[in-house]
Structure 1
């Protein structure tokens, strides 16, 4: 389906991320003819906007028509919060994942309980169980997952051939890879947060899941161990050391000033040997690689290398890219639930959007056989391998409570600049997490090794 996701927040294009925000529909449409469900979203360009309008808004045939209105990525959350507080705003509240704003919206009384509709639409059979569990607050299903994603290692095969290198799979290979690339005068990994401060949490998540390992992260999420344990301090300190060596973005100061289009250009032109980012970038490469960009560059992806002792060689960083719930300010909850079901579970529409626009699907049950022959083989491989994943990691924007996530975003950059030690950073995580854990605000996480069933 489509919701306000990481990819929209970066102005990057959207995994089925367009559902974003359905605004208050107790009013009439612009023509004054009838009530309507209005969608706000922040897709990256007119092509994506037009596609979503046609296939996810106008194609819906329910009680109310659906009107689509693009909004700026930088202001959509603030606009939503202001409108909700005024008693209007989005009828379907979108957030960048279950840990972002959801618990606050629920506590404030803005989100409707979706439990009465779960059996009606068979959501337990349609969605992966982990995704529905992570969408609960205080035992109530209050949002549906709009898209799912993972972190991967991107590369330009021609660049790797030129440098005589292969994609690393272990910590030793990763460190040798970055040392060699840096030594030859190239950027080891394209990286930058100028367009989106939240990029910081991608690397914090990678450090924890691939440096400390999913078993350790899961234990801390359950409150069985603390985030101040040496395994986490060492993992964050190691990731920070990689930044200080200039492996991410070329230098720490460049990481702060480099925007996303520059990252894609660096990978396509061969200035950078690789890039660690999310699968939300699939739709963004078209303008930089191949015929549309006027070059013969290609890109590929593989899993993120292990960065710690005892960490499985393959860990899939599990993430919900966007969550959508129904506002209590909207009076017809049943009608909104019907549209939400279409938006997140209509397999034909969703698969077509993946093939046509590289939108990311919601975490419904998808098999390789669901795709047509025209589908990008890299995309089919992604969802085939991801659906079969056994060793999973836990991203901050899906499995960490909101205040803890915000702290991790805001203060990670202080660690890579040397203003804050990894130990102090982990102490800050623990102090916030323990409080939110006691308040019941930690999303439900599946057990490591259990796969994505």
Structure 2
């Protein structure tokens, strides 16, 4: 089940050290302390709004319950929890041995500690039964493997893009940049006109800083170099990674991102969206979760006539093509090895994750990222926002795919990436020392085997 809270909001409230999540939710059978009766599977859910909660109840929980017939069937009973406590409740329950049957995490990297602690049931026996290899994108299914076994199933996938207000760009004669030169020319012109070139900030969510490291490494160093580093064939001290951070640091120093280091750490997302709508910010590098957040600031909902759109990431190096799409799994779900009714729990999980049309209807209605199911253009509902449809069609057809830090870096390295990048932005840590620190930590996790599986870039 794709959780109905944006990844940023979830991680902000739970204090998770990884990414890729929209919310942490849980399924638990009777006997796990959830209060459900013996013929039910309980669900702990947290929702960003009542509308999304109702949609999930009607189209996932109630819809599944209608299919749950027969003597062994167990219906889902949803219990709504507070967004800021649901993750901690789940973590505490698992640690005490009374955890939920299905454990939700902020992506494959955050599943690894559960694997190391022996909390999870291997799902390999269910792959053929439910046809996951046929229904789910292969890279996303492989990302849930550890030690050669499948321990998690993806429930939401994303990429990164450039968001903008078309009227702002048209007014100043700009176009969505496709190269470093075009990007820097736009930023210089915007600064000269008193416009923030790139809306950015991490006042509400410290991990937002890694978004910039992610897209910069993917567009400057490129997917092949990242793949080599993630698989131990290249070090993070390689000049291509250091130079990318140096260039990004230089852009921050010029005030291009969020107004510079003095303002970046106090900027909030509401203000960024409002600046985009008013024309006071030109670009916003962000993820697919933007679709579930941006609409209230544009058009009738905000009392203005502004619109928004998105464009692929530009190329920041001559050796990397424009339009690289970093792959991201927003959330992952696993089955507790102590689950009393694993077959029924996995059946619920399959219903909530692997049906293509159901996932696309969920995306159309809420903007929340769908599970990475294999779909065609004909599968998209007619009422979906065409910008959202175009985004996921492009992602599914992508040939130049990259890697998000919150999906493919190990947990400690991922935390280091955004925490220490703050020191780079403020000038307290050099790009060279930043990359050396990451390399030291990454090598430790790599040797310990705490690395999510990394799919090879297409064509490699």
TM-score range, shorter chain: over 0.9
1:91 is matched with which residue?
101
The Cα RMSD (Å) is: 2.1
Q: Does 1:151 align with 2:152?
A: no
1:38 is matched with which residue?
42
Q: How does 1:236-315 map to 2 (within 5 A)?
A: 236-315=245-324
CA contact (8 A) 2:104 2:333 kept: yes
Describe the shift of the 1:365–1:23 C-alpha distance in structure 2 as closer, same or farther (beyond 3 A). Answer: closer
Q: 1:428 aligns with which of 437, 451, 455?
A: 437
Q: Note the alpha carbon deviations across 1:134-157, whole angstroms, 9 max, x for none.
A: 111111100001111000000101
1:2 is matched with which residue?
2
Q: 2:213 aligns with which of 191, 201, 204?
A: 204
Aligned equivalents of 2:146 and 2:343: distance in 1?
20
CA contact (8 A) 1:2 1:20 kept: no
1:179 is matched with which residue?
188
CA contact (8 A) 2:28 2:43 kept: no
**Which structure 2 segments of 5+ residues have no match?**
14-19
Q: How does 1:359-370 map to 2 (within 5 A)?
A: 359-370=368-379
Q: Does 1:380 align with 2:389?
A: yes
Q: Note the alpha carbon deviations across 1:72-110, whole angstroms, 9 max, x for none.
A: 4444433322221111233211111111x2110111111
SS at match of 1:257: coil
Shift of residue 64 of structure 1?
2.2
Shift of residue 7 of structure 1?
4.4
2:16 is matched with which residue?
none
Aligned equivalents of 2:459 and 2:41: distance in 1?
38
SS at match of 2:162: strand
Task: Give the total of aligned pairs.
Answer: 447
Shift of residue 10 of structure 1?
5.7
Describe the shift of the 1:40–1:246 C-alpha distance in structure 2 as closer, same or farther (beyond 3 A). Answer: farther
SS at match of 2:334: strand
Identify which range, 306-315 or 136-145, moves more after superposition: 306-315
2:78 is matched with which residue?
68
Describe the shift of the 1:395–1:30 C-alpha distance in structure 2 as closer, same or farther (beyond 3 A). Answer: closer
1:48 is matched with which residue?
52
SS at match of 2:265: helix
SS at match of 1:24: strand
Aligned equivalents of 1:107 and 1:45: distance in 2?
35
Q: Does 1:408 align with 2:417?
A: yes
Aligned equivalents of 1:55 and 1:78: distance in 2?
27
Instruction: Give the TM-score, by structure 2 length.
Output: 0.92
Q: Does 1:440 align with 2:449?
A: yes
CA contact (8 A) 1:29 1:36 kept: no
Q: Note the alpha carbon deviations across 1:25-63, whole angstroms, 9 max, x for none.
A: 234898864443333344322221221122122221232
2:426 is matched with which residue?
417
**Which structure 1 segments of 5+ residues have no match?**
none
CA contact (8 A) 2:10 2:21 kept: no
Aligned equivalents of 1:41 and 1:263: distance in 2?
29
CA contact (8 A) 1:20 1:94 kept: yes
SS at match of 1:116: helix
CA contact (8 A) 1:24 1:329 kept: no
1:118 is matched with which residue?
127
Q: Note the alpha carbon deviations across 1:6-35, whole angstroms, 9 max, x for none.
A: 2442679xxx97773214323489886444
SS at match of 2:169: helix
Aligned equivalents of 1:238 and 1:376: distance in 2?
35
